[in-house]
């Protein structure tokens, strides 16, 4: 007998060669195996007698006996052809396989076999081309043929056929699964109970049965996720945070010192945040605003107030480039104050203003000391660095830019230990910021119960960026246009998507998630290098072209970025790393290669990189689609409103792609179901009801177990 925690190595048919491959798919134990759900099903359910086979192209299944089988080699074509004759009571048909000579040894004459596949036609008549086959012994249920057959996410050496074998065997041996979903809910929503659901999702009787099972699991995951969010939230509310008094005079003066006037949305958001900070429990607010809507300054004002109240502020950003840029812009925006700002990333530390004895650049170690002593009041850095090594004297506010989820635990981590004098249960306030406009229900699912401030309005005087989809036929004139702009002294960004490593496009869908991070980076490097070669050698040989990709050291990236900023390069070819935040006012062209490969929300982010100076800016969406009429890309020409584009994007691609599963910590299945707002609402409601009736989930041991399992998963990431 198996149970969930049985490691896959213990299963029959899993040897030392396959175990690591399975692990690559995230399958370490029986539980992972059974929860490796099919991506889709091949419909082989049309079972017919041989004499009913009528048309080529049909997808059919037959059962019969092999009466003859032989393999011939065609040297000229370098392939083998295995030809079997199959008979049933009604007739005879041939089945043909290419380059699979071993089949001859499996399907010996007299074998009783089930075959499923496409009907093909040649001069000899109708035959089955490369059908799936399965020997029939006893009364066992069919696994690979004659039914809806599951097709799984695969990886090298792990085929769907192999997975079907492992899964169907494991299903037969599972003793007893505790159902995490309470009975009432199963009944209320008419979901299949767990055992049935797990069987149905792998080997369904019909598509509908499969869909029901999938819904059930999605509901279960969203429910669990919601419970966790609600519990997090509750835990947060039992914690204390330092109340920070909103000093209106002080803030008013600071705002006056800024080089621009705040928009109304910025004012309101600032007010909401400053009001939250006054409370003695931690703020949990999301500042959501389109690229360029001016989120940074809102965060800065909150940070300024916090520092003036004697507490430290940390500003976490996703990349080093962005950290440096934030550091520069915060330094310049706080000229009128004597705020002490520090930059701390994997590669460097800087301080502002400089003191008598040191330079702007200081050692990381010294920076850590200055943070620990409280001398540095506002720290900007990449999250990795800040979470790991830094001890604060008295942290009051954490600001997180462009990141989606940040829970209680991480906040606790930030506060490590040495704050002897303070209540251990005290945590900093949290402000997260994102440029991804997320519908509210979705936001609630991802972030839990949080408060949202919206920046809808852009600062005054922002130019409209002209966006054009460039089909293949207009490429040359677009290049000329770019050349002309550069002649006028402007600069351009070129973004290219990574080159996919696998061959068939169908496979990419299923496997791209599984490619290791490093392979992805290399695919990007290749894409960027190719584009760089093309642009610098063929198209713009007289220009200074630079490239930026994930394999460069942070220092190299910064150097290139700095040189681009200073006008040393005309054109910067890059992967999507420039996506977030970089500010280069003289860059007026954002050219995107194979734009159809990106989502609208992402394209919109790229576009936000230009239009930051006084010159008219352009976004050119190069596409390989011949007419360039792609409906999706055309939406970019029509609107500059990130919220409109995001809504469209969410509809087209679903939330998984839209938000990025990794960042959200939401399980895949729940993710794909997030377009189903009804399902989310239901799960949310039920989660609330459950907690209301039973705050510690005492009566729901299985659900509690599921919850801690999910928690564990998130922690291992």
Binding site for ligand ADP (CB under 6 A): 260-263, 266, 289, 291-297, 435, 459, 583
**Distance from C-alpha of 34 to C-alpha of 31, rounded to nearest angstrom:** 5
Q: Which does 374 bind (CB under 5 to 8 A by kind): Mg ion, ligand ADP, none?
A: none
**Distance from C-alpha of 717 to C-alpha of 708, rounded to nearest angstrom:** 15
Map tokens 């600071």 to a residue. Answer: 254
**Distance from C-alpha of 606 to C-alpha of 595, rounded to nearest angstrom:** 11
Q: Which does 305 bind (CB under 5 to 8 A by kind): Mg ion, ligand ADP, none?
A: none
Q: Which does 667 bind (CB under 5 to 8 A by kind): ligand ADP, Mg ion, none?
A: none
**Distance from C-alpha of 446 to C-alpha of 565, rounded to nearest angstrom:** 36
**Distance from C-alpha of 397 to C-alpha of 110, rounded to nearest angstrom:** 76
Q: Give the distance, in angstroms, between the CA of residue 93 and the centroid of all CA atoms in the same chain.
A: 48
**Shortest distance (Å) from residue 654 CB to ligand ADP:** 25
Q: Which does 98 bind (CB under 5 to 8 A by kind): ligand ADP, Mg ion, none?
A: none
3-state helix, strand, coil in the chain (%, to 5): 45, 20, 35
**Shortest distance (Å) from residue 429 CB to Mg ion:** 19
Nearer to Mg ion, 581 or 611 (CB): 581
Map tokens 């990794």 to a residue. Answer: 662
**Shortest distance (Å) from residue 435 CB to ligand ADP:** 6
Site for Mg ion in 548-607 (CB under 5 A): 581
State the CB neighbour count (10 A cutoff) for residue 312: 24
**Shortest distance (Å) from residue 372 CB to ligand ADP:** 29
Q: Which does 637 bind (CB under 5 to 8 A by kind): ligand ADP, Mg ion, none?
A: none
Q: What single string gives the DSSP state of each residue in 320-367?
A: HHHHHHHHHHHHHHTTTS---EEEE-SS-EEEES--SS--SEE-HHHH
**Shortest distance (Å) from residue 392 CB to Mg ion:** 23
Q: Which two tokens stand for residue 170?
A: 């494991």
**Shortest distance (Å) from residue 260 CB to ligand ADP:** 3
359 burial via Cβ count (<10 Å: 0-12, 13-18, 19+): exposed
Nearer to ligand ADP, 192 or 294 (CB): 294
Q: Which does 550 bind (CB under 5 to 8 A by kind): ligand ADP, Mg ion, none?
A: none
Nearer to Mg ion, 30 or 287 (CB): 287
**Nearest position to Mg ion, beta carbon:** 581
Nearer to ligand ADP, 102 or 260 (CB): 260
Q: Which does 292 bind (CB under 5 to 8 A by kind): ligand ADP, Mg ion, none?
A: ligand ADP
Nearer to ligand ADP, 200 or 263 (CB): 263
Q: Which does 297 bind (CB under 5 to 8 A by kind): Mg ion, ligand ADP, none?
A: ligand ADP
Q: What is the 3-state secondary structure (H, E, C) of 174-194?
A: CCCCCCCCCHHHHHHHCCCCH
Q: What is the CA radius of gyration of the chain?
A: 30
**Shortest distance (Å) from residue 435 CB to Mg ion:** 6
State the CB neighbour count (10 A cutoff) for residue 566: 10
Nearer to ligand ADP, 289 or 318 (CB): 289
CA 22, 23, 25, 29 torsion-angle sign? positive
Q: Which does 495 bind (CB under 5 to 8 A by kind): Mg ion, ligand ADP, none?
A: none
**Nearest position to ligand ADP, beta carbon:** 294
**Shortest distance (Å) from residue 433 CB to Mg ion:** 7
Nearer to ligand ADP, 51 or 261 (CB): 261
Nearer to ligand ADP, 194 or 297 (CB): 297
Pairing of strands 378-382, 341-344: parallel
**Shortest distance (Å) from residue 293 CB to Mg ion:** 9
**Distance from C-alpha of 659 to C-alpha of 223, rounded to nearest angstrom:** 19
Nearer to ligand ADP, 193 or 459 (CB): 459
**Shortest distance (Å) from residue 524 CB to Mg ion:** 23
**Distance from C-alpha of 469 to C-alpha of 663, rounded to nearest angstrom:** 30
Q: Give the distance, in angstroms, between the CA of residue 556 and the centroid of all CA atoms in the same chain.
A: 27
Please work out, in degrees rounded to the nearest 5, the angle formed at the alpha carbon of residue 172 by the alpha carbons of 169 and 176: 130
Identify whether 186 is preceded by a cis peptide bond (ω within 30 of 0).
no
Q: Give the distance, in angstroms, between the CA of residue 142 and the centroid of all CA atoms in the same chain.
A: 36
Nearer to ligand ADP, 163 or 400 (CB): 400
Nearer to ligand ADP, 379 or 435 (CB): 435
**Shortest distance (Å) from residue 679 CB to ligand ADP:** 32
**Distance from C-alpha of 243 to C-alpha of 239, rounded to nearest angstrom:** 12
Q: What is the contact surface with Mg ion in residues (CB under 5 A)? A: 581
């Amino acid at each position: 007998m198996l149970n969930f925690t049985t490691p896959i190595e213990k299963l029959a048919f899993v040897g030392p060669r396959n175990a690591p491959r399975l692990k690559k798919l995230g399958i370490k134990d029986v539980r992972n195996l059974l929860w490796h759900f099919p991506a889709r099903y091949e419909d082989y359910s049309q079972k017919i007698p041989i004499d009913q086979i009528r048309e080529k192209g049909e997808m059919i299944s037959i059962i019969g006996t092999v009466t003859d089988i032989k393999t011939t080699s065609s040297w000229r074509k370098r392939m083998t052809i295995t030809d079997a004759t199959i008979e049933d009571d009604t007739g005879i048909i041939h089945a043909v396989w290419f380059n699979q000579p071993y089949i001859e040894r499996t399907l010996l004459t007299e074998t009783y076999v089930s075959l499923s596949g496409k009907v093909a036609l040649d001069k000899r008549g109708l035959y089955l081309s490369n059908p799936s086959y399965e020997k029939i012994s006893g009364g066992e249920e069919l696994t690979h043929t004659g039914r809806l057959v599951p097709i799984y996410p695969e990886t090298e050496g792990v085929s769907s056929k192999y997975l079907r074998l492992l899964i169907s065997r494991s299903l037969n041996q599972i003793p007893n699964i505790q159902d995490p979903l309470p009975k009432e809910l199963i009944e209320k929503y008419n979901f299949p109970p767990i055992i049935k659901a797990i069987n149905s999702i792998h080997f369904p009787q019909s598509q509908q049965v499969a869909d029901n099972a999938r819904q059930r699991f999605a509901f279960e995951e969203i429910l669990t996720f919601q419970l966790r969010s609600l519990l997090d939230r509750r835990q947060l509310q039992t914690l204390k945070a330092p109340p920070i008094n909103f000093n209106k005079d002080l803030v008013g003066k600071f705002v006056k010192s800024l080089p621009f006037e705040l928009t109304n949305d910025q004012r309101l958001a600032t007010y909401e945040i400053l009001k939250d900070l006054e409370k003695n429990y931690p703020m949990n607010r999301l500042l959501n605003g389109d690229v360029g809507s001016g989120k940074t300054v809102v965060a800065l004002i909150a940070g300024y107030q916090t520092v003036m109240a004697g507490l430290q502020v940390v500003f976490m950003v996703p990349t080093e480039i962005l950290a440096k840029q934030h550091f520069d812009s915060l330094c310049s925006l706080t000229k009128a104050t004597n705020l002490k700002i520090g930059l701390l990333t994997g590669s460097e530390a800087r301080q502002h203003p400089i003191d008598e004895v040191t330079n702007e650049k200081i050692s990381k170690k010294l920076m850590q000391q200055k943070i620990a002593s409280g001398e540095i009041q506002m720290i900007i850095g990449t999250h990795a660095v800040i979470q790991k090594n830094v001890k604060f004297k008295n942290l009051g506010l954490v600001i997180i830019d462009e990141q989606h989820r940040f829970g209680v635990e991480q906040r606790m981590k930030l506060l490590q230990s040495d704050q002897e004098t303070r209540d251990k249960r005290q945590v900093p306030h949290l402000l997260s910021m994102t440029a991804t406009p997320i519908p509210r229900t979705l936001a609630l699912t991802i972030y839990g119960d949080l408060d949202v401030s919206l920046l809808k309005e852009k600062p005054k005087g922002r130019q409209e960026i002209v966006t054009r989809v460039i089909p293949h036929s207009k490429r040359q004139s677009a290049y000329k246009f770019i050349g002309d702009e550069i002649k006028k002294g402007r600069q351009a960004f070129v973004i290219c998507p990574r080159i996919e490593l696998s061959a068939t496009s169908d496979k990419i869908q299923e496997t791209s998630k599984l490619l290791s991070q490093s392979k992805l980076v290399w695919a990007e490097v290749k894409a960027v290098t190719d584009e760089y070669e093309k642009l610098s050698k063929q198209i713009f040989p007289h220009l200074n072209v630079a490239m930026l990709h994930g394999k460069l050291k942070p220092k190299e990236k910064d150097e290139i970025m700095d040189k681009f900023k200073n006008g040393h390069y005309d054109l910067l070819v890059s992967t999507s790393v420039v996506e977030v935040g970089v500010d280069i006012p003289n860059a007026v062209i954002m050219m995107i290669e194979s734009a159809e490969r990106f989502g609208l929300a992402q394209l919109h982010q790229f576009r936000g990189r230009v239009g930051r100076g006084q010159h008219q800016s352009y976004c050119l969406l190069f596409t390989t689609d011949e007419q360039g009429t792609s409906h999706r890309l055309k939406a970019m020409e029509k609107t500059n409103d990130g919220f409109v584009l995001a809504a469209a994007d969410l509809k087209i691609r679903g939330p998984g792609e839209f938000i990025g599963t990794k960042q959200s910590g939401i399980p895949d299945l729940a993710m794909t179901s997030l377009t189903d707002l009804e399902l989310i609402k239901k799960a949310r409601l039920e989660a609330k009801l459950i907690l209301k009736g039973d705050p510690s989930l005492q009566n729901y041991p299985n659900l509690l177990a599921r919850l801690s399992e999910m928690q564990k998963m998130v922690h291992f990431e």
